[in-house]
Structure 1
């Protein structure tokens, strides 16, 4: 007979929560955003409650992308996505999804990369380009990377470059 554990609370599974009760992932992460065991040394992360102006977000995300830290750039985009005007959500969501798509390429997960690159590209595939974001350039980048991943070609993740701003 199996032991009844339905009333047992498991402190080791407790999650940090914000003031609204939403779960926060306080576990440390590696450079590619993978969770590490609690107490392990991880890389610095974008705080859950971070806020950025669009210009600040694009500047910080570009610096992270230039360093190959696409997961952390995704966190910057996500922070703006949570607080931006409704007519810009597609932009920030698309940028976040493309960045996570690259993260999946870096992690060696082609199916995850394909799904996120497609979603990001589809979100960005619009004519409106606020904040001088080079939307067509990001879409072209996602299309090229998606083509390589779908074809099973090796992608040198150290050489992935993406420019966010037009000009």
Structure 2
């Protein structure tokens, strides 16, 4: 599995795509291009109203799924790209717990103050004039890209599993997802290092499974989307926990649940709610 940082660029201007690709390659980044909203999917004939948070339906839902699955280090928006509804997309991505931590960098015409202000108001982390973006691109990518500290994660994952976390996992494995929450939350709060993400990830998987048992489709899918930001950066084994196996379980659950949809959640196969393996 590749570990090079990913930039998702909502850019269509050939002059900028060429420059961005060259700088990204030099820095060891990958770039995926979304030049128009149609690449994400066809416009929704009748967009279903969404509650605040993650969009689960229509083109907005497909965008969320694409971003969450890829876990990019940076989102890059060309504010001159009229084929992208960047006002709506930036605001939506920055309002979601699953995607709000992903940095958003925008560039546009310095003379169009209203456009630059609108991007900042939508939640962009940085909004720059095209000239400055072009001149400072390497430094900007390195400053704003959010890249996991792999050596630090490897070091903390070599530490032993907290006793509270072990208790929470034991409850999780008995199917006591609600009861597991308190022990895992306490373990997460007691840990100030990056290893706490392991506990937060397991906690949120347990919440998702509990929501499935309660018939809460939206709550379960939201948690399954949110958990990837915590589990995906971790090594295959962390503090004795089989993280790779847990990620695979979460993916199977997500696929089965979304295939059923909210109307058929009662038919979900509970046997898919696997146990967490600890060495």
Q: Once superposed, which parts of structure 1, at least 4 consecutive aligned residues long, lie more than 4 Å away?
A: none
| Matching of residues 6-155 of structure 1 within 5 Å | 54-128=161-235, 129-152=237-260, 154-155=267-268
Determine helix, strand or coil for the equivalent of 1:114: helix
C-alpha contact (below 8 Å) 2:164/2:184 kept by paired residues: yes
Larger Rg: 2
Determine helix, strand or coil for the equivalent of 1:68: coil
Q: TM-score, normalised by structure 2?
A: 0.37
In structure 2, distance between residues paired with 1:147 and 1:96: 20
Structure 1 residues 159 and 94: alpha-carbon distance in aligned structure 2, compared to 1, 3 A threshold: closer
Structure 1 residues 121 and 164: alpha-carbon distance in aligned structure 2, compared to 1, 3 A threshold: farther
- Root-mean-square deviation (CA, aligned residues, Å) is 2.1
Match of 2:21 in 1: none
In structure 2, distance between residues paired with 1:142 and 1:135: 10
Determine helix, strand or coil for the equivalent of 2:268: coil
Shift of 1:68: 1.2
Q: Does 1:156 align with 2:269?
A: yes
Shift of 1:91: 1.2
Shift of 1:151: 0.8
C-alpha contact (below 8 Å) 1:54/1:80 kept by paired residues: no
Higher strand share: 2
In structure 2, distance between residues paired with 1:159 and 1:67: 14
Choose between structure 1 and 2 for higher RCO, CA contacts under 8 A separated by at least 6 residues: 1
C-alpha contact (below 8 Å) 2:253/2:273 kept by paired residues: no
Deviations 1:123-167 (A, max 9, x none): 10124343111111111111111111111162233663222325x
Structure 1 residues 57 and 86: alpha-carbon distance in aligned structure 2, compared to 1, 3 A threshold: same
Determine helix, strand or coil for the equivalent of 2:197: helix
Shift of 1:75: 1.9
Q: Does 1:165 align with 2:278?
A: yes
Note the residue ranges of structure 2 that are not aligned, 5 or more in a row. 1-159
